Structure 1
């Protein structure tokens, strides 16, 4: 399956590109994701990752490896990897390509994701549900990253593009993100956010069906 996503950040491309070099920061901004405790990150080496999801009574904890490659000249990159959940015997494998572009607000980040899911959780990988979840994860990642970028300015966030994305946004519990006021360049980076809870796919599934039937009514 292939997904296309994008978001805008209120900071110049050079500052955003610098943040993309901070692997721990990127992982901290993605809900449900974390780096294996005690792991040491080495430039060019694989990144040991964990990702938690919850589907009704099913709680899956994927563990795997990822590889990040950056193109400094083009301010673009690629992240590829795979992970396994032993409890559900499910596997996910994919890659995400991203690029930074100048924007009137600051920086436009484009994403192109290709992935596959096998095992028990593959039955829930219906395209509409996955797209709704992907839109919500992208939005939360962008909000979290914006809050961690220094000298950010307050800008309105784009409205959801579909009823499915609106349902996904309402289904994932998270506190609203408030963009910080400008700070001096020398100010220390904000403290890391609290560990993210598992993504509740069951709520996304129920609200996606509700939106589907509403559109057919």
Structure 2
């Protein structure tokens, strides 16, 4: 499944870069993201993602690998994990870009999500709806963080 979101930011990419690469601050914007551990800055991380999707309550310990960093405009990463209760396997490839627009920037996030196992039986529409809700919540939380920058 493919997902994408974009939002206008109030400052140039150089100013926003510090917020977007501050793992503690950005992880607080991600719904259900907990126990974030930085192994190597801008390289490897661990986190747990908890979500309720349909009748399933997922708790996915995830390994996150940063594949590419182009400061201050792009981060590419992927994450994999397996829910310990349902055995559902999740894999996501994520690309985050900052593009200068006037005095500000545009944040673009695109994700390719692969779901295997019991959660996949719910069907793409249920999973997609939950992912879109998560993107909306992420944007709301990120905007609140950016107001303090």
Query: Equivalents in 2 of 1:105, 1:135: separation in Å?
Result: 28
Q: CA deviation at 1:93?
A: 0.8
Partner of 2:87: 89
Structure 1 pair 125–26 and aligned structure 2 pair: CA distance change class (3 A): farther
Query: Equivalents in 2 of 1:134, 1:57: separation in Å?
Result: 15
Q: CA deviation at 1:134?
A: 2.7
- Structure 2 counterpart of 1:131, from 125, 128, 131: 128
Structure 1 pair 139–12 and aligned structure 2 pair: CA distance change class (3 A): farther
Count, aligned residues: 148
Q: Output the aligned Cα RMSD.
A: 2.2
Query: Equivalents in 2 of 1:57, 1:82: separation in Å?
Result: 22
For 1:1-217, what aligned pairs fall within 5 Å after superposition? 1-36=1-36, 39-68=37-66, 69-72=68-71, 75-104=73-102, 106-126=104-124, 128-149=125-146, 152=147
Structure 1 pair 121–25 and aligned structure 2 pair: CA distance change class (3 A): same
Q: TM (normalized to structure 2)?
A: 0.85
Q: Cα deviations across residues 5-58 of structure 1 (Å, max 9, x unaligned)? A: 21222333222111111111111111111235xx45422442111011113553
Structure whose CA Rg is larger: 1
Q: Does the 8 A contact of 1:45 with 1:67 survive in 2?
A: yes
Query: Equivalents in 1 of 2:8, 2:122: separation in Å?
Result: 29
Q: CA deviation at 1:71?
A: 0.7
Q: Cα deviations across residues 142-185 of structure 1 (Å, max 9, x unaligned)? A: 22112112xx4xxxxxxxxxxxxxxxxxxxxxxxxxxx6xxxx7
Q: Cα deviations across residues 51-73 of structure 1 (Å, max 9, x unaligned)? A: 11113553210112101232116
Query: Equivalents in 2 of 1:136, 1:20: separation in Å?
Result: 20
Q: CA deviation at 1:125?
A: 4.2
Q: Once structures 1 and 2 are overlaid, which stretch shifts more, 60-69 or 10-19?
A: 10-19
